[in-house]
Structure 1
Amino acid sequence: MTEQPFVIVGGGLAGAKGAEALREQGYDGPLVLIGDEPDRPYERPPLSKGYLLGNDERDSAFVHDEGWYARHDVDLRLGTTVVEIDPRTHTVVQDDGGTVRYAKLLLATGSSPRRLSIPGADAAGVYYLRRLPDSDAIKAAVGSVRRLLVVGGGWIGLEVTAAARTAGVEVTIVEAQELPLLGPLGPELARVFADLHTAHGVTLRTGVGIERFTVDGDGVSGAVLADGGRLEADAVVVGVGAVPNLQLAAAAGLRVRSGVVVDARLQSSDPDIVAAGDIAEADHPLLGAGIRVEHWANALNQPAVAASTMLGGDAVYDELPYFYTDQYDLGMEFHGLVTPDNYDEVAYRGDVAAREFVSFWLREGRVVAGMNVNVWDVGEPIKALIRSGNPVDEVKLANPAVPLDEVYDT
């Protein structure tokens, strides 16, 4: 009897790293990787960073070189959409009518941009950023327009804004909340990024939504705001969040909440299906149950644990959430997790006004998250502070002369 393959559904970073981890961990059986895009798996951060800016070549985004999959005996099926998963028969159904029986399955279906359903949203010149062709289209627009409207002040919106301003384009950001990045950073640090963009000539319209886009012929020409204000624009980039692609998991009967519910081993409610990346709502040994973050680091690191689980191992995913950004002359790394109710104060070391500092989110004197802005090589000690759970001396914490491993409250 032919051995049934391990199957990976999702052709992004998590899917590619899952295939890599399975081979590295000794799995030498048949392996199928199915992705709905025509390009081999690539990383998404370059799409709003180096590639969009024109600093990096297109090939730099790809996870593996073109021959890697053949060399590692991975059956890579590109441009193929999975339309059904049947856990009862261990069968994956493709849009071309083909089927694959699996022994174990890794779901890594990622997310899709949240789309606006307002008048004019389907006009030419309205862009979303998720895939390589999206980045190509936005890059072309940035090179040809004078005025850009960015809807949404999240990471994607701000990184696109920085790229456009660097190219000399006039940019207006419309953000429904009172500050950009209010959710992931809280008001204290969100202000740093608002000030960064206004200092670079960006017009910020906050606390207001978009009522409709205006259209001239077939193309977008601007927007009418919920407060009646009007904006003119030659192109629009919408970045109002992402929606995890849970349709397959839900239809297959897996337990789903904000994502596919998995334990710390990334095991779903089905013993033969694991999940990784944007869709995984995981129990975390440090942070608790039901943690789902849409960060590049999860797609990069979770697949090694998912592969271990597929092979019968007992590895758990305990990496802290991590993300980074580069905007103008600001480089930033963030470790941990900030929610509106998990911290009670923010402490700083360094020069916030000069944008060269480290910030710490504290709860009852314990560090729950840390962000270094234009300060480098402090990631490991920041993570150690979070993991320790021990109270810190805030005077020492704020003093750059005191090493971070010596700031504990003794």
Structure 2
Amino acid sequence: MTRTEKNAPLVIIGASYAGLQLASSARELGFEEDILIVGDEPHPPYQRPPLSKGLLTGKATVDQLWLRSPEFYAQKRIELCLGRRVTALDPGARRLTLDDGTVLEHGWLALTTGARARALPLPGAELDGVLPLRTLDDALRVAEAAASARAVCVIGGGFIGLEVAAALRTRGAEVSVIETQPRLLARSMPALMSAFVENAHRQRGVEVLTGRGVRGLVGAHGRVAAVELADGQRIDCDLVVLGVGVWPNGELARDAGLTVDNGIVTDPLGRTSAERVLAAGDVAAVASMPGAPRVRHESIQAATDGARAAASLLVDKPRPNTAVPWFWSDQFELKFQMAGVAREGDEAVVRGEPDSARFSVFYLRDGAIAAAHSVNRPGEHLLSRQLIAAGARLAPETLADPDSDLKAALAAMVTPAAA
């Protein structure tokens, strides 16, 4: 397969949410040149949220995970090259090399390579029954092992680890979550919400151990049999699922001379430091403006918004990504929905009763709503995104009163954007 500059194709590396969204948005915006998506997995782009939720509980099947049908790719003239890995980029010459030696030329290049599960460099990590969860194949292995597992240890108290814990506990397994930080979700949520999450798991039978380091994994006949904590305590188990975070797949870009700093550095349009090279999704470290801190938002919506912004450049109609970041997580019967980015030191205002498992927490920063976390309150979550985008300033007592009409308050206020 040889591509020439005459065709000026768009080549997308990464058959991910962001990769597919970039391709489909490009077509919607009128991009007419060839589009090729190269993915190192053998599967076409698929949904990732069910991997740690429905696929483990049996509520979702593999056939339900595909993002688009084969007919969609044919109709949109989007070619898939699956099971192939890109080994080198040459942005100046606008060409790349695949692992089978094939050289492809491109006009535009987009990097949507995502992130990979962090490894656990501990004794025993190579034992059977010690599994990460990031890809579809990972999830299928975890689901197969969980079918006969008696006791499961989940190492890592972030969202993926907790979703896995909830799914496997729902299946009837004994589940322990081990987190080295003093509380769950320490990097993602302020203390009030992380305490609620921890209590919710404990109430449903999950053993939660926070502030506990792991010394190693103990095996018997080549298979994991226990997790040994730093203080010497052993937790018996026959399955260990690793949920210790992810690492952005930026090495290919770094080796090609692009600026990489905890991800491929981009602006709100997805432009990298190399001409006609874009990046979007979990691998992109985005600065909202020059001098602003760079952030990687690991969520489906951030991947979608970033990919749409990048696609707008392809047709010379730039539309920077200015959307409020949001995210969700299903654990047991609880739907957590988060908008904005909460920080320690924000003023937390609780709306509703946490004991009812239907409430929201609004976070005020310098008097404005900067973030909101909702539990089983989808309507308030949607409204919170509008409030954050508007820079809304509502009195704490108004936010805290569950009978106050936030929608009316938003409609009545004069926002900075409208002034």
Coarse TM-score class (shorter-chain normalised): over 0.9
Q: Is the 8 A contact 1:397 1:407 kept in 2?
A: no
Change (3 A) 1:352 1:286: farther
Q: CA deviation at 1:293?
A: 1.2
**Does the alignment pair 1:116 with 2:114?**
no
Match of 1:369 in 2: 371
Contact residue 286 and residue 387 of structure 1 kept, 8 A = no
Shift of 1:360: 0.9
Q: TM-score, normalised by structure 2?
A: 0.94
Residue 179 (structure 2) pairs with residue 175 (structure 1)? yes
- The residue identity in structure 2 corresponding to 1:281 is A
CA–CA separation in structure 1 for the residues paired with 2:399 and 2:379: 16
Contact 2:264 2:285 (C-alpha < 8 Å) held by counterparts: yes
Pick the aligned partner of 1:154 from 133, 151, 158. Answer: 158
Whole-angstrom distance in 2 between the partners of 1:84 and 1:235: 37
**Secondary structure in 2 matching 1:346:** strand
Equivalent position of 2:417 in the other structure: none
Aligned-pair identity (%): 34
Partner of 2:395: 393
The residue aligned with 2:148 is 144
Alignment-mate amino acid for residue 180 of structure 1: L
- Unmatched tracts of structure 1, length 5 or more: none
Judged with a 3 Å threshold, the aligned counterparts in structure 2 of structure 1 residues 406 and 330 are, in CA distance, closer, same or farther, namely same
Q: 1:270, 1:223 → 2: CA distance? A: 45
Secondary structure of residue in 1 paired with 2:55: helix
Deviations 1:326-385 (A, max 9, x none): 111111211111233xx4321111111111101111223221111111112223320122
Q: 1:126 aligns with which of 124, 127, 130?
A: 130
Contact 2:117–2:245 (CA under 8 A) maintained in structure 1: yes
Superposition pairs of residues 5-404 of structure 1, within 5 angstroms? 5-284=9-288, 288-340=292-344, 343-404=345-406
5+ residue gaps in structure 2? 415-419
Q: How far is the alpha carbon of 1:66 from its aligned partner?
A: 2.4
Shift of 1:406: 4.8
| Alpha-carbon contact 1:346-1:362 (below 8 Å) kept | yes
> What is the alpha-carbon distance in structure 1 between the residues aligned to residue 123 and residue 39 of structure 2?
32
Higher mean displacement: 131-140 or 190-199: 131-140
SS in 2 for 1:130: coil
SS in 2 for 1:254: coil
CA contact (8 A) 2:91 2:275 kept: no
Aligned AA (2:355): A
Following the alignment from structure 1 to structure 2, what is the Cα–Cα distance between the partners of residues 327 and 74? Answer: 35
Quote the offset at 1:168 in angstroms.
Answer: 0.6
Q: TM-score, normalised by structure 1?
A: 0.96
* Change in CA separation of 1:254 and 1:117 when aligned onto 2, cut-off 3 Å: same
Do the aligned partners of 2:269 and 2:306 also contact (CA within 8 Å) in 1? no
**Which one-letter code corresponds to 1:92 in the other structure?**
L
Q: Distance in 2 between matches of 1:287 and 1:267?
A: 16
Corresponding letter in the other structure for 2:372: G
